[in-house]
Amino acid sequence: MLGWLRPVMGAIWRFPARGLLALGVHPNVMTLVGTAGVVFGAVFFFPKGGSALFWGVMVITFFVLTDMLDGTMARLGDKASRLGAFLDSTMDRVADAAIFGSLVFTFMATERLTATAALFCLAIGALVPYTRARAESVGVEAKGGLAERSDRLVIGLTATGLVGLGLPLAVLTWTLWGLALLGAITVVQRIIKVVDAARRDPAWNKDLERHVEREPHA
């Protein structure tokens, strides 16, 4: 849903990306720095609860934006690589685990419903990119869907920040359950794309040796 923001953010990040490249900073470094910042923001602030939820979201949001900065740097500096793609995808999973895992830890002792919703978001958040990667491993493009990673992050972090500012916890709880549902629908949408491909081309469906299986990457 929020994919249209990427070109806008790419244009915004163009100037700082050029500056960092001029300083000799590699895009992969920014990927690692951004992930470290997200992990810190989630693990350090979220367990404190209260207003710390808001400040944690602020820190996370700042570093999440570097996810777009490293991509802009890679394009402008002609530094796109398989290693960069691998790191970017892997660090996305680390960041997601830190965010939703910290929410599980924060509420598991006092608000089981909220913690369970965060746990479902964590699990389904891993399934969404996995289904895409497995689809692509057999030659089917399965991008998109009702709620991609950027959609889930924006909505989840917004709800967390608002609760940190004083809104009832129910706002976060039901937002997380909604995100889990949207993520599950996205998984089903991607599965349907592969099923449709198999129905359209039975010969392709039986040809297993033509496709080399790869590990999930997006």
DSSP string of 4-21, one letter each residue: THHHHHHHHHHHHHHHHH
Does residue 217 lie in a domain region? no
Does residue 141 lie in a domain region? yes
For residue 179, the SS3 value is helix
Span 64-118, pLDDT tens digits: 877 778 777 877 777 778 888 888 889 999 999 999 999 999 999 999 999 999 9
Specify the number of domains making up the chain: 1
Does residue 60 lie in a domain region? yes
List 70, 88, 92, 151, catalytic entry:
92
Does residue 167 lie in a domain region? yes
* pLDDT value for 99: 96
Does residue 212 lie in a domain region? no
> How far is Cα 79 from Cα 70, in angstroms, rounded to an integer?
10
Span of 36-50, 58-72, 81-95, 162-176 with lowest mean pLDDT: 58-72
Element containing residue 147 per DSSP (H, E): none
Which CATH number characterizes residue 61's domain? 1.20.120.1760
Specify the pTM: 0.84
Sign of CA dihedral 136, 140, 144, 145: negative
User: Would you call 92 a catalytic residue per the annotation?
Assistant: yes
Does residue 103 lie in a domain region? yes
Does residue 218 lie in a domain region? no
- Region 59-68: what's the mean pLDDT? 84
Domain extent for 138: 5-206
